[in-house]
Amino acid sequence: MTDETYTVELTPDHKDFSIGYNMGVDALEEIQKQVETKAADHEPLVLMGMLTVLMECAYRACVEEDDVDELLEIGKLLAKESMKESHSIH
């Protein structure tokens, strides 16, 4: 492991971002199946469980806690942007 830091330019078509995004879509489809079959009662609690695991992973993967905060802020901005775009389409 190296102490070297680097910057990655994030674009929605970045390969790694696309892989993670598609994995998230797959996970949400699985959550929806669990809710539809009544295996899970409360979708928000299922999402909370999934978010907890993702956050644990982020804290292990990032060098500094501030890096996790930055990841969260960028993720929130991208999600809000996506929601605005999807609302403008309808």
pLDDT tens profile 51-69: 999 999 999 999 899 999 9
Report yes or no on 10 lying in a domain. no
**Residue 27 CA: distances (Å) to CA of 32, 33, 64:** 9, 10, 27
The answer to whether residue 17 is domain-embedded is no
Rounded mean pLDDT, 6-23: 79
Q: How confident is the model at residue 82 (pLDDT cuts 50, 70, 90)?
A: confident
Tell me, yes or no, whether 34 lies in a domain: yes
* Domain-embedded: residue 6: no
pLDDT value at 89 more than 60: no
Question: Cα 51 to the chain's mean position, in Å?
Answer: 8
Percent of the chain with pLDDT over 70: 83
Question: Is residue 71 one of the residues assigned to a domain?
Answer: yes
18 located within any domain: no
Would residue 13 count as lying in a domain?
Answer: no
Encoded tokens for 61? 């993967």
Q: What mean pLDDT comes out for the span 9-36?
A: 87
- Give me the residue label for tokens 């309808």: 90
Q: Which residues, 6+ apart, have CB-to-CB distance to 3 below 8 Å? A: 63
Range 48-57 contact pairs with CB under 8 angstroms and sequence separation of 24 or more: none
pTM of the model: 0.72
Q: What is the pLDDT of residue 13?
A: 74
User: What range defines the domain where residue 81 resides?
Assistant: 28-89
Evaluate whether residue 21 is within a structural domain: no
Q: How many structural domains are present in the chain?
A: 1
